[in-house]
C-alpha cells in the first residue's frame, strides 16, 4: 500500500541507465535462436547470489483474475482513503496495461523474518509496537538496489532485452503475480506466504521483454487454518482472502490521515506503526530463519521504544530518529497521533505526563488524539490546559 511512481526502466542500449555488456555465455545453439539468453535456472541462481530468498517467473497474463478481484475490492470501498488505488486501477489489471512490451515477469522475494518474537511487546503497554518490516532500513531502497543489480546481469546476458524494475511503488499486482510465479501463495491474510520464509517476504518485480519459461503457480496451502483471521484485533477480515483496509490497524496507523475512528482506538493498544498480528501467528513461520540482510536488522531506537520518549519528538527529532526508515514517510503528525492513542491505552501517571504537553501541539490531529488519550487515562480533562 504505497503511492505510485513510474518504474525504473533498464535498457541494454541506454548507456546512461545501464552499461551494455556482450554475451558472456557460450551456450549451444537453441532451436529458437536464444542461445545467449539466460534461462530460469540462471536467473534464480543470480537472484540467490544477490540475496533474494525466492525467485520465480510468470507470463505477463498469468494472473487473469487479479483485475476483477481488485475491482470488487475497490467497488466495496475497502481501500478506505487510498484514492491512488482507484486512480491507477486500470493499469493494475495486467502487466501489459502498465507496459505493453512485457513478455515475462520475474518475481522475487527477500526475507525480513525477525530474530525476535514480533509480538513480544503485546503485554508491555508503555512500549510502542512497530511492525517488523519497519525495524530496519527502508526495504524500498534495499530491494530496488538488488533488482537493479539483477537487471544489469540479465542485460549482460541478453543485451537486446528491455526491463523495468518495481518495488511496491507502481501499479503492479505483486501478490497475485508472486503466486503465479510460484514463490508463494496469497494467504487468507491477503499477504504472500512461503513454505520457507513464512509470511515475512518483501516482494520485487522485474518486467522483461524476454520470453522466459514460467516456473508454475504455487498451490494454496492455508488449508482449514484460520489463525490469521481470529488474531486480528479489529476484525478486518470480512472473509478469508479479503481485507477491509478501513478496519486494519496497519492502514489506520500508516495510510490513514487525520483522526483515527474512535471505534478502533482501544483495539490499537500500543501499536504505533503497523500491526503484525495476522502475520505473526501464521504456522508457516516456523520454517523461516531470521533474515540475514544486515539492512533489516532492528535499529536500537526500535528495540524497546518508550511511548513517553516518542511523544516528545518534534519534527526535527522525528526526522533524525527515523532517517532511512519506512516510518519517516508518514511524517511526525501521524506518528505522534499514534503514540498519543497508545498512551491513552497505557493509562497511568506516566501517560498523563507524556500526553499533557501534546495539548499544546501545533497539529489539530495530535491535539485531538492527546485529548482522547487523557480522557482514557481517567481524570477529567482540564479544558483550560488545551490550546484555544
The catalytic site residues sit at 168
Q: Do the beta carbons of residue 237 and residue 150 sit within 8 Å?
A: no
Identify which of 163, 344, 371 has the alpha carbon closest to the alpha carbon of residue 264.
344
Contacts for 309 with CB less than 8 Å, ≥ 6 apart: none
Q: Do the beta carbons of residue 376 and residue 350 sit within 8 Å?
A: no
Q: How far is CA 63 from CA 10, 60, 94, in A?
A: 24, 8, 8
Identify which of 9, 8, 164, 4 has the alpha carbon closest to the alpha carbon of residue 89.
4
Q: Residue 372 has which C-alpha cell?
A: 482522547
Distance CA 80, CA 251 (A): 9
Q: Residue 31 has which C-alpha cell?
A: 532451436
Identify which of 248, 273, 385 has the alpha carbon closest to the alpha carbon of residue 334.
273
Largest CA distance in the chain: 83
Q: Do the beta carbons of residue 225 and residue 188 sit within 8 Å?
A: yes
Contacts for 280 with CB less than 8 Å, ≥ 6 apart: 117, 118, 119, 199, 231
Query: Which residues are registered as beta bridge partners of 105?
Result: 58, 207
Identify which of 195, 124, 202, 198 has the alpha carbon closest to the alpha carbon of residue 166.
202
Amino acid at each position: 500500500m504505497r503511492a505510485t511512481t513510474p518504474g525504473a526502466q533498464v535498457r541494454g542500449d541506454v548507456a546512461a541507465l545501464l552499461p551494455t555488456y556482450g554475451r558472456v555465455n557460450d551456450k549451444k545453439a537453441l532451436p529458437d535462436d536464444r542461445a545467449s539468453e539466460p534461462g530460469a535456472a540462471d536467473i534464480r541462481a543470480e537472484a540467490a547470489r544477490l540475496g533474494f530468498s525466492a525467485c520465480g517467473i510468470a507470463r505477463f497474463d498469468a494472473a487473469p483474475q487479479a483485475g476483477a478481484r481488485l475491482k470488487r475490492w475497490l467497488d466495496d470501498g475497502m481501500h478506505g482513503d487510498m484514492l491512488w488505488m482507484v486512480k491507477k486501477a486500470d493499469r493494475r489489471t495486467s502487466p501489459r496495461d502498465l507496459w505493453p512490451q512485457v513478455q515475462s515477469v520475474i518475481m522475487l522475494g527477500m526475507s525480513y523474518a525477525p530474530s525476535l518474537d514480533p509480538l513480544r511487546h503485546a503485554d508491555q503497554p508503555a512500549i510502542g509496537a512497530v511492525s517488523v518490516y519497519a525495524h530496519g532500513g527502508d526495504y524500498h531502497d534495499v530491494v530496488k538496489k538488488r533488482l537493479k543489480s539483477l537487471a544489469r546481469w540479465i542485460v549482460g546476458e541478453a543485451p537486446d532485452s528491455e526491463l523495468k524494475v518495481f518495488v511496491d511503488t507502481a501499479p503492479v499486482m505483486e501478490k497475485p503475480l508472486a503466486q503465479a510465479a510460484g514463490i508463494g501463495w496469497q494467504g487468507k491474510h491477503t499477504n504472500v506466504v512461503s513454505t520457507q520464509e513464512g509470511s515475512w517476504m518483501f516482494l520485487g518485480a522485474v518486467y522483461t521483454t524476454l520470453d522466459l519459461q514460467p516456473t508454475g503457480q504455487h498451490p494454496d496451502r492455508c488449508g482449514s487454518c484460520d489463525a490469521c483471521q481470529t488474531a486480528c484485533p479489529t476484525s478486518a477480515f470480512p472473509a478469508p482472502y479479503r481485507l477491509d483496509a478501513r478496519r486494519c490497524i496497519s492502514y489506520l496507523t500508516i495510510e490513514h490521515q487525520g483522526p483515527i475512528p474512535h471505534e478502533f482506538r482501544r483495539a490499537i493498544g500500543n501499536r504505533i506503526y503497523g500491526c503484525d498480528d495476522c502475520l505473526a501467528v501464521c504456522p508457516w513461520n516456523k520454517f523461516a530463519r531470521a533474515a540475514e540482510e544486515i539492512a533489516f536488522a532492528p535499529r536500537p531506537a526500535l528495540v524497546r521504544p518508550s511511548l513517553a520518549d516518542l511523544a516528545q519528538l518534534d519534527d526535527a527529532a522525528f526526522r533524525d530518529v527515523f532517517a532511512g526508515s519506512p516510518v519517516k514517510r508518514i511524517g511526525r503528525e501521524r506518528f505522534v497521533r499514534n503514540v498519543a492513542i497508545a498512551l491513552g491505552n497505557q493509562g497511568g501517571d506516566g501517560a498523563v505526563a507524556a500526553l499533557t504537553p501534546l495539548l499544546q501541539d501545533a497539529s489539530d490531529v495530535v491535539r485531538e488524539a492527546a485529548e482522547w488519550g487523557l480522557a482514557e487515562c481517567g481524570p477529567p480533562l482540564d479544558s483550560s490546559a488545551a490550546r484555544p
